[in-house]
Chain A
Amino acid sequence: MKIDFSLNGKKVSIDTLPEKRLIDVIREDFGLMTTKNACYSGECGSCTVQLEGRIVPACQIPIFTVRAKRIVTIEGFMGTEKYLDIINAFNDIKCIPCPFCFTGKILAVDSLIDNHRTPDTSDIMALLSDHSCSCTSVSKFIEGVRMAYHNREFRGELLK
């Protein structure tokens, strides 16, 4: 089955089995290996991508459902100022998530600070509970999210 969609801002087309999971298409057909594949049940958060601007687990999405949709992986997101807001904050406090959960946590933080005027501790704890990897210190992660929010606020992005 031929499926056309947008991947990291480029129009792409793939001829594959319709039931093939998006995560496998991203990794095997497009070679974008930063997005990980671990549980196939949507629980670990390591395969998170943005689908039409919303974070989704790519392992729970068969490729036939993304026809004409816009997908951004962590590789695409890394080229944006929004990514710099987050990664600079986590770099400053020396709290970088491990390669397994990096994608999920960074994209989830972006979604959180985009949707909240002031992310409170319970919102951040809820975010952490959605990701099974516990590589980062909770208190540092909370600090990192708040700093990322302030970075974005400082850039004026949230006022738009």
Chain B
Amino acid sequence: MIKNIRSPLVYYPKTVNEMLSLYKSMPDSLLYAGGTGILASKNTKYPELPGNIIYLRRIEELSAIRRSEGYLEIGACAKLNRILGIGEHVLKPALYAAIRNIGTKEVRNIATIGGNICSPYRTKTLIPLLSLLETRLELRKQGSSRWINVRKFVSPEEGLHEGEVLTRLRIPFNNFNHQSYIITGDLKSDYRGALTFACLASVQKENLSAIKFAAGIGDNGIFRAREFEEALSGRKLPLYAITEDPVFARLTSALKNQSDEVSSFHSRQIEGLFLTFMHSLNDML
């Protein structure tokens, strides 16, 4: 059976500059690193791929992982299991759990962090947590580069521009001593029904000095309730019967304000997951 008119041409650049130059000359080409998101979505014998493929895994710079004093710098093509190999004590529990939640061990041996961030499921896996961690992304194109916050990356206006490639992530180290990361539902079979919830809190001497949380919902939406987070920060723990606290109304109103993106089902889930997290804080005292 003749499947393709022309088989894809594969390019194997060895440096970032070589890759950017190729991508500039062939903007419709496919940037291929782990490819798990691409191939899993095309579960046919011969996956149809674009005419030109730029294979990124031969570029060492894109797989580098560096630790500096203030942040962890990860190349976009670093494999997920290699990142897990850094250890939970460095990545911290939420990020470790978030990465470990992606695929099977076999898949994580080829899937890359850049692929996860650029995939259509991006708001459902790492992005909500990375946005809480104030992660910055390096976007490069030939002759220029810029760093943007991961929150801006998911917006169509400020995300990837033509010819740009995600090359590095900078994840600042954090001191949140209570962390939670949960995915509800099944991303594969019920993408719209699934929800990602990440919550980070800093508790010092029975004082909730800082708390923030994010939920990944819809195709590109990240739910945050900053006013609610600010109102809770500084409160004394334990916080029993928080649903009767006037502060809790700010979460409810924030959820109502985003009712276009957050369904009532997801609103109840977010409230429930947040309350579970608060109960776990109370229980630890």
* Residues of A that sit less than 8 Å from B by CB: 1, 17-21, 24, 39-43, 45, 48, 51, 54-57, 59-62, 64-65, 67, 104, 108, 111, 126-127, 130-131
Chain B residues closer than 8 Å to A39, beta-carbon distance: 43
Contact with A along B1-16 (1 / 0, CB 8 A): 0011001101010000
Task: Tell me whether B40 and A42 are in contact (CB under 8 A).
Answer: yes
Contact A42 B106, CB 8 Å, known A1-B7, A60-B40, A64-B10: yes
Complex formed: what's the CA distance from A43 to B39 in Å?
A: 12
Least CB distance from A111 to B in Å reads 7
B47 CB within 8 Å of chain A: yes
Query: What number of residue pairs across chains A and B have CB atoms under 8 A from each other?
Result: 93
Task: Tell me whether B10 and A18 are in contact (CB under 8 A).
Answer: yes
B57 CB within 8 Å of chain A: yes
B interface size (C-beta, 8 A): 30
Task: Tell me whether B43 and A60 are in contact (CB under 8 A).
Answer: no
Least CB distance from B7 to A in Å reads 5
Chain A residues closer than 8 Å to B55, beta-carbon distance: 64-65
Complex formed: what's the CA distance from A59 to B44 in Å?
A: 10
Complex formed: what's the CA distance from A21 to B40 in Å?
A: 12
Complex formed: what's the CA distance from A40 to B53 in Å?
A: 21
Chain A residues closer than 8 Å to B12, beta-carbon distance: 67
Complex formed: what's the CA distance from A64 to B47 in Å?
A: 13
Task: Tell me whether B103 and A19 are in contact (CB under 8 A).
Answer: no
Chain B residues closer than 8 Å to A1, beta-carbon distance: 7, 10
Complex formed: what's the CA distance from A19 to B42 in Å?
A: 12
Task: Tell me whether B109 and A21 are in contact (CB under 8 A).
Answer: no
**Which listed residue, B7, B104, B106, B188, touches A19 by the CB 8 Å rule?**
B7
Contact A60 B105, CB 8 Å, known A19-B7, A19-B49, A65-B55: no
Complex formed: what's the CA distance from A43 to B110 in Å?
A: 13
Task: Tell me whether A57 and B107 are in contact (CB under 8 A).
Answer: yes
Complex formed: what's the CA distance from A43 to B7 in Å?
A: 27
Least CB distance from A29 to B in Å reads 13
**Which listed residue, B10, B32, B36, B46, touches A20 by the CB 8 Å rule?**
B46
Task: Tell me whether B104 and A54 are in contact (CB under 8 A).
Answer: no
Task: Tell me whether B107 and A19 are in contact (CB under 8 A).
Answer: no
**Which listed residue, A48, A59, A104, touches B39 by the CB 8 Å rule?**
A59
Least CB distance from A126 to B in Å reads 8
Complex formed: what's the CA distance from A51 to B109 in Å?
A: 9
> What are 22 residue pairs bridging A and B, where the CB atoms are less than 8 Å apart in the complex?
A1-B10, A17-B3, A18-B8, A18-B10, A18-B53, A19-B7, A39-B43, A40-B39, A41-B40, A41-B188, A48-B106, A54-B109, A55-B105, A56-B107, A60-B35, A60-B39, A60-B40, A60-B107, A62-B35, A62-B49, A64-B8, A130-B105
Closest to A64 in B: B10
| 5 closest Cβ pairs, A-B complex | A130-B104, A40-B43, A41-B40, A54-B109, A64-B10
**Which listed residue, B7, B45, B109, touches A55 by the CB 8 Å rule?**
B109
Task: Tell me whether B53 and A64 are in contact (CB under 8 A).
Answer: yes
Task: Tell me whether B39 and A21 are in contact (CB under 8 A).
Answer: yes
Contact A42 B35, CB 8 Å, known A24-B45, A61-B110, A65-B57: no
Residues of B51-103 contacting chain A, CB below 8 A? 53, 55, 57, 81, 103
**Which listed residue, B47, B81, B107, B188, touches A62 by the CB 8 Å rule?**
B47
Complex formed: what's the CA distance from A43 to B106 in Å?
A: 9
Complex formed: what's the CA distance from A87 to B48 in Å?
A: 39
Least CB distance from B253 to A in Å reads 39
User: Which interface residue of A39, A40, A127 has the most chain B CB atoms within 10 A?
Assistant: A40
Complex formed: what's the CA distance from A111 to B103 in Å?
A: 16
Chain A residues closer than 8 Å to B35, beta-carbon distance: 60-62, 65
**Which listed residue, A20, A60, A64, touches B110 by the CB 8 Å rule?**
A60
Task: Tell me whether A42 and B10 are in contact (CB under 8 A).
Answer: no
Task: Tell me whether B110 and A21 are in contact (CB under 8 A).
Answer: no
Complex formed: what's the CA distance from A59 to B104 in Å?
A: 13
